[in-house]
Structure 1
C-alpha cells in the first residue's frame, strides 16, 4: 500500500468514525431534546403514525390508542376516565396539548425516549410498524376503585402509599373529568369541553391529591409537632401541659378553644399523649409556643414540607413558612392552622415515615417502561428522602397514633382485628367557611402495608358540622381495608 493510499484510508476511517459518533449522539444522547423542540415538525408528524403505548395499572390498560380515520391515525381512549383522569391526563394531537402521564412520560409513550433506542432500531430492521412503549404504574386498580367509591359525591382526594417503598397505590381526586372529551380530534368540541371544565366551580381539573388550592392540614399536623417536642429531648409522652379551656394567643386578642369547648379531659394539666389522643388545640398551641417555630419547621421539612416531589407528576410543595412574624402564628401551627398548607401526598408521607421506622421514602407511581416485545426498557426503584425521626421515636409515635384510633378522636378508622394508627384533622378556613376534613394513618400498625391521607373539602357538605372523624376517617378505613384484603 502506497503512502498516499494509506493516508487516504486513515482519513476515510476517521470520517466514518466521526459520522458514526455524530449520528450516535443525535440518535441517543440528543434524542429527547430534539424530540421536545417545538420546531421539530417531523417528529410531530411522525408521532401521528406511531401507535402510542398504553398506560397500565395492574392488569388494566387505562389509556390506549385505537385507529382513527383522520390525519392523526390514532385516537387515545381512556378507561373509567373520571377515576383515572388526574393521573393519565390527556393527549390531543390536534391542539398539540397534553397533561398528566401523557405529558410527562410522552417520549416513552411515543417510543422516542433514549431508553427505547434499541426497540426503535429493531422495528426499523424487521419492518414492524412503529410502536410506543407502555408505562406501568404502581397504582392498584382495586385500591383506586375503593378510594374513588368512598369519595363519591364529595370534593376531595385520597393518596395511599406503601410506607417502605414510597410506591403510590392510589391517587384519587374528585370530582374527576372525562379525559376522552379533551382527546377528541375535533378542536371545537375539545375547546368547548375544556372551557366548561374551567368554568366549573368544583374545579375538576385540579388534582387535589398533589396540587390545586392547598388546604391547612388541621390537627393532622399535631403529629409533626409532637415529633418535634419528643425529638428535642425536653419532653416525653407523659410531659404535662397546662389545660385551660381556652388560650389567648400571644400578642393577640384572638382566643383558641378545644373542639369540645372545654378542657382536654379532666385536671389542670394534660399529657402530650392524651392531648394528641383527644386532639386538643389549646395544649398543642401552648406546646408550639414553648418549642418555637424553628424546631417545628425543621421537623416538618424532615418529613418533606417545603420540598418539591415528582412522582413523576409534579406535586406542589406543602408549606411551613420560613418566617412566622409572631408567637400567635407559631401557636396556630401547633394545631395545623395559620399559614400552613399541605397536600394529601405530604400528609401521607408523614404517616408513611413513622410507619417505616422514621425513614421517609420518595414517592413514585411508575414502576417500569416496557417495550412492545415485553422487554423492560427502564425500571424505577425505591429511594430514601431522609430520616425524619429515629426508630424508637417512630415506635412511640405509632403507639400514640394507635391510641388515637382505639380510644380517641379517630375512632372512625377502626378496623376489626387490625391495629390502625391514625390522626384526624378538622381545619378551619375562616369566618363561616366550611371546614376542611382530614385523616391520615397506616395499617397494620405493627407491620404497615399502607399509609393513607384523605382530605374532604367544603365540610363534606355539612358546613362546619362535619369532622375528620365522621367523614374522612371512614373513607381511609375503606381504602386501608382494600389493601389489607388483597
Structure 2
C-alpha cells in the first residue's frame, strides 16, 4: 500500500473509532440525560401514553385522565379544578407542570424507580402510576373557598399538633383542566388565564407576601414576653397615646381615639389593636430581638417546603428606631404570606412548638401500597409554653370582647387577631384585611387559620380584618372541628 493511501486509511479508521466512541458515549453516559430532557418529545409522549396516578383529597381522587385522539394519548382531568388548583397545581401537555403535579411527576406517570418490579425491569414496561394522598380536608377547603367568594385573597388552615395543611385556598382561582390538552381551545384558556390582571395562577396562600398589619403584633408580644420586657399580658406597658416615633416629630395614633391604649397591658392592646403600644414595644426591644423572634416562626427563611416551597416572609434589617417601631405594627417593610401567619397562630396554639407545614400525607404505588409517609416534623420551639398560654388567653379576649367578634363559634374556644395593612403611596391603596386565629373543641382538637383579603371591592373605610377576613376563618375552623 502506498504512503498516501495508507494515510487516508488511517484517517478514515480514526474517524470510525471516534464515531463509535461518540455513539457509545451518547447511548451510555448521556442516555439518562437525553431521556429526561424536557425538549425530547418522547418524554412528553411517554408521560401521557397511559393514565396517570392521582392526587387524593380525603382518599378520593381530585384528578383523573381522559383519552384523546392525538399522539399524546391521555390528558389530565380535574374534579373541582378551581377549588383544588392551589393544592394540585397543573399538568399540561403543552405548558408543563407545577406544584404537586410537578414535584411528584415521576410517581404519577409511573417512572419513579420505586414503582418498578423485577418483571417490569425485564420487560421494560412502565408500571402503573402511583398516587399522592394530601392532608387536605375537603370540608375545610370548601368552606374557605365559599367564604372567600369573589374576593381576591387566600386562607390557610393548619393542624397545630402535626403541621398538616387542612385547607389552602387562593382566589381568584383557575381550572387546570381547561388547558391540560394541546388543542386550540386549551391554548385559548391558557392565554385567558395568563392575561388576567388578577393573576389567578398565583398561589396566594403560599407565594403572596404582603404587609401583615396588626397580626404581626402577636410576634412582637411574644418577643416582649420571652425577653422579660413584660412579665405577663396583664402588666401595664408604660405606653403614651399618641406615640412619637423615635427621633422624629411624627405622632402615631390609634384607629379609635376612645380606645384605652395609654399604658395598656398586652391583653388590652391586642383587644383594641393599639398601634402605640406595639410600636413602642418594638422600639424598646430593638430590631434584633424582634427579628430573632420572627425568625423562630419562619420569617426570613426562604426554604420552607410543604413540599411545595413557600414564598419568603420578611422581617427587614438595617432599620432606624422609627422604622423599627413601624415594623412592630406589621408595616414599614414587613412581608408575610398567609402560610407564614398560619404558622404563627399554630405555634401559639401548640404551646410554642411549631410543626413544619405538610401538604402530603403519603405516597402510594399503583396498588395502594404505601411507599413513603413524610410524617410530622418539628420546625422549632418559638416560645415557652407559658408565653404561648398567655397569648392564647389574650387572643381569646380579642374574639370574645375585642376586634375579632365575627370569629366566635358556639361550643368552641376561639382566639384571634385582626389586621388591616396599609399600602400604596402615602397609604393611598385600599388596605389588606387579615385575620389569624385558633380554635379548640372540648376534646382538645385544634386548628389554626390565617386569612388575607387582598381586594374585596369594598370601600376603604369598610375594610377590616373582623369584617372581611374573620368570617372566612370562622367557616374554616368550624368545618375543621365539626
CA shift in 2, pair 1:298/1:193, >3 Å: same
1:32–1:480: structure 2 CA closer, same or farther, 3 Å change rule?
farther
CA distance in 2, matches of 1:357, 1:158: 22
Is 1:104 aligned to 2:103, yes or no? yes
Gaps of 5+ in 1: 1-25
Tell me the residue number matched to 1:203: 199
Partner of residue 75, structure 1: 75
Contact 2:152–2:456 (CA<8 Å) still a contact in 1?
no
Alpha-carbon distance between aligned partners in 2 of 1:369 and 1:377, rounded to the nearest angstrom: 5
Note if contact 1:433-1:464 (Cα within 8 Å) is conserved in structure 2: no
Cα shift at 1:203: 1.3
Contact 1:459 1:465 (C-alpha < 8 Å) held by counterparts: no
Larger CA deviation: 443-452 vs 385-394: 443-452
2:342 to 348, 361, 366: 348
Number of aligned positions between the proteins: 450
Alignment of 1:270-285 (within 5 A): 270-285=264-279
Counterpart position of 1:3: none
The answer to whether the 8 Å contact 2:220/2:290 transfers is: yes
- Separation (CA, whole Å) in 1 of partners of 2:160 and 2:440: 11
Displacement of 1:464: 3.5
SS in 1 for 2:329: coil
Q: In structure 2, how many angstroms separate the alpha carbons of the residues matched to 1:453 and 1:107?
A: 33
Greater mean deviation of Cα atoms: 246-255 or 137-146: 246-255
Q: Could you report, residue by residue, the CA deviation over 1:81-118 in whole angstroms, capped at 9, with x for unpaired residues? A: 1111122222122x251122111211111121233233
Q: Where in structure 2 are the equivalents of 1:105-120 lying within 5 Å?
A: 105-118=104-117
Question: 2:435: which partner in 1?
Answer: 439
1:257-289 CA distance string (max 9 Å, x none):
2111x15417x5211221112211111111111
Structure 1 residues 191, 328: CA separation in 2 closer, same or farther (over 3 Å shift)?
farther
Matched with 1:217 is: 212
The alpha carbon displacement at 1:448 in A equals 4.3
Find out whether 1:158 has 2:155 as its counterpart: yes
Q: Which of 291, 294, 299 lines up with 2:293 in the alignment?
A: 299
Cα distance in 2 for residues equivalent to 1:35 and 1:248: 65
Tell me the distance in 1 between the aligned counterparts of 2:365 and 2:34: 21
Where does the alignment leave 5 or more consecutive residues of structure 2 unmatched? 1-27
Residue from 343, 364, 367 that aligns with 1:373: 367
Aligned to 2:22: none
In the other structure, the counterpart of 2:322 is 328
Is 2:48 the counterpart of 1:48? yes
The 3 A distance-change label for structure 1 pair 297 and 263 is farther
Matches within 5 A, 1:12-411: 36-38=36-38, 42-93=42-93, 95=94, 97-118=96-117, 121-123=118-120, 130-186=127-183, 188-212=184-208, 214-236=209-231, 237-260=233-256, 262=257, 264-265=259-260, 268-307=262-301, 308-324=303-319, 326-411=320-405
Partner in structure 2 of residue 468 of structure 1 = 465
1:482 is aligned, of 458, 464, 479, to 479
Residues 481/445 of structure 1: CA separation in 2 closer, same or farther (3 Å cut): closer
SS class of match (2:248): coil
TM, length-normalised to structure 2: 0.88
Equivalence map 1:411-422=2 (5 Å): 411-422=405-416
Q: Distance in 2 between matches of 1:227 and 1:35?
A: 52
Shift in CA distance, 256/35, structure 1 to aligned 2, threshold 3 Å:
farther
Closer, same or farther in 2 for the Cα pair 1:78/1:46, shift >3 Å?
same
The aligned counterpart of 2:14 is none
